[in-house]
């Protein structure tokens, strides 16, 4: 896998420090990329050796398959999270998504408020996604990279609420961090993702 660079200047965010982003992106996210590669390599070696006997209590195959979803989701979720940062928080850059928020939650402000509360209720990830089965925007929380996600959903807004995302900047004040997330939110990018996703029906 490839470690993708940040698409914005980490010194320029308002309320999320360059120090936090340096650890979050260049250490933690890059670490998931490296581990995803390592697990993929080990799985190939295991398959080549023929020693792939699976056991659901413990087997090397089970341990690697579990690590695989943790590492790969760790990579993808962080990429979606960093993708929607670096903006100016101006909602007028997302007219269609604003309309969808208004239809679902009454207004964009109410939708953001609800999303923020979902973030407060999560121990890891809070995700607004296009649910390709339901054919509508749905909000899902996950307490770990490989827990809580719903298959068939295309993430549009991904918020990392692990403590590593805010503890250096805000201590335990998660609410202040979530407010900073919206201040730096790139609504144009979210709009782009929404327009691509909303036609997908599976």
- To Fe ion, the closest distance from the beta carbon of 162 in angstroms equals 5
H or E element at residue 136: strand 136-142
Compute the least distance from the CB of residue 31 to Fe ion, in Å: 10
Q: What is the DSSP string of 44-80?
A: HHHHHHT-----SSS-HHHHHHHHHHHHHHHHHHHHH
CB closer to Fe ion out of 83 and 160: 160
Q: Which residue, 160 or 191, has its beta carbon nearer to Fe ion? A: 160
Q: How far is the CB of 44 from Fe ion (least distance, A)?
A: 27
Touching Fe ion, residues 11-70 (CB under 5 A): none
Site membership for Fe ion, residue 160 (CB under 5 A): yes
State the residue for tokens 């390709």.
Answer: 132
Shortest distance (Å) from residue 74 CB to Fe ion:
8
Residue 74: CB atoms within 10 Å: 20
- Interface with Fe ion includes 83 (CB under 5 A)? no
CB of 200 to Fe ion, least distance (A): 26
Q: Which is nearer to Fe ion, 45 or 173 (CB)?
A: 173
Say how many CA atoms lie within 13 Å of 49 toward its Cβ.
11
Q: Of 8-16, 99-107, 117-125, 155-163, which part binds Fe ion (CB under 5 A)?
A: 155-163
Classify residue 148 as left (phi > 0), alpha (psi -120 to 50) or beta.
left
Q: How many CA atoms lie within 13 A of 168 on its CB side?
A: 12
Task: Give the number of residues in contact with Fe ion, rule: CB under 5 A.
Answer: 2
| Contacts to Fe ion by CB under 5 A | 160, 162
């Amino acid at each position: 896998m490839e470690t993708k660079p940040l698409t914005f200047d980490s010194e320029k965010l308002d309320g999320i420090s360059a120090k936090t982003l340096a650890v979050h992106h260049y250490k933690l996210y890059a670490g998931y990329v490296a581990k995803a590669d390592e697990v993929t390599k080990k799985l190939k070696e295991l398959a080549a050796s023929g020693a792939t006997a699976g056991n659901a209590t413990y087997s090397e195959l089970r341990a690697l398959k579990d690590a695989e979803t943790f590492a790969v989701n760790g990579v993808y979720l962080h990429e979606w999270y960093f993708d929607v940062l670096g903006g100016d928080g101006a909602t007028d850059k997302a007219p269609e998504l604003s309309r969808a928020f208004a239809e679902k939650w009454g207004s964009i402000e109410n939708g953001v408020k609800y999303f923020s509360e979902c973030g407060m209720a999560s121990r890891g990830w809070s995700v607004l996604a296009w649910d390709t089965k339901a054919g509508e925007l749905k909000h899902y929380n996950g307490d770990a990279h490989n827990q809580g996600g719903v298959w068939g959903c295309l993430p549009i807004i991904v918020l990392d609420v692990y403590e590593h995302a805010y503890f250096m900047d805000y201590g335990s004040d998660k609410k202040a961090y979530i407010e900073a997330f919206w201040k730096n939110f790139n609504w144009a990018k979210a709009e782009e993702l929404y327009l691509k996703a909303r036609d997908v029906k599976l």
